[in-house]
Chains A and B, each alone.
Chain A
């Protein structure tokens, strides 16, 4: 959820000189926070203390210094480690169900709710037992 806004960058400019020189720390963070560390597997390389994560952070930093774009850096990672390194799964046929599923659920849920507001057909006569009658009586007490 960490987004970078131009003006945030401007606001933080004074601090960058004291950080490591030359790169946009917010961009660095939002990028590494979306790359999965393969060693501990449930941390991003921004968060992880694993040696491989340190190496990959260094790699990202160098690539940013070399002027590569976010997409190029992500491609670099997926070429080596596969889509597994991306915490934001890329949109492709394999992930369509993942990306559109929630909104499909929502649609289905709303349709079901809309239909539910009317009663299902009244109970069929054969279903009525002494108990049903008693229940209805209970309810209307």
Chain B
């Protein structure tokens, strides 16, 4: 037995380790570089009301900024969760209505309920680009200082809300 004949085996073990860890990761999920940075500046007309929504509204108190659209199927999935969060009232929920027609968006909110304090209309997706949005729905957590502290890509789940989101919000509110 000679040592160099063991080298391939060593390489293989390293490979298997990496692949094994890789199985637990989601390759589609891209960490946002915005976490820990100030929320991007924007000003958007409100959906279904007069006025503007800006990043200053988000930083008045810890807030959720939820990217949604009437054409987005996965948004239906998280809608009941958003409604429940709105009902509990312990978090301020704002919406970014991404590349949507206002009449479709309003019809959806009228039909399924409106969980948002307000939604800004990002019709050309420019604010979405500034926020690094690449798939709807996405949810940002913004703290009192106006810093983005977390981002969820894809629909919210009860597990995520209970195990990560609510504890995080509690921490931010103290």
B-binding residues in A (CB < 8 A)? 38-39, 41, 51-52, 55-56, 59, 78-84, 120
Contacts and interface: CB of A to CB of B under 8 A. Distances in A.
Contacts of A38: 30, 134-135
B134 A82 contact: no
B171 interface: no
A78 B2 CA distance: 48
B131 A82 contact: no
B125 interface: yes
A78 B28 contact: no
A51 B136 CA distance: 12
Nearest to A41: B28
Contact of A80 (B124, B125, B130): B130
Interface string B87-130: 00000000000010000000000000000000000001110011
A38 to B, nearest CB: 4
A82 B135 contact: no
Interface residues on B, range: 10 to 19
Contacts of A81: 30, 32-33, 132, 134
26 contacts: A38-B30, A38-B135, A39-B134, A39-B135, A41-B28, A51-B99, A52-B125, A52-B134, A55-B124, A55-B125, A55-B126, A56-B129, A59-B129, A78-B33, A79-B33, A80-B33, A80-B34, A80-B132, A81-B32, A81-B132, A81-B134, A82-B31, A82-B32, A82-B33, A82-B132, A84-B30
Contacts, number: 38
Interface of B: 2, 28, 30-34, 99, 124-126, 129-132, 134-135
Contacts of B30: 38, 81-82, 84
A80 B131 contact: yes
A10 to B, nearest CB: 33
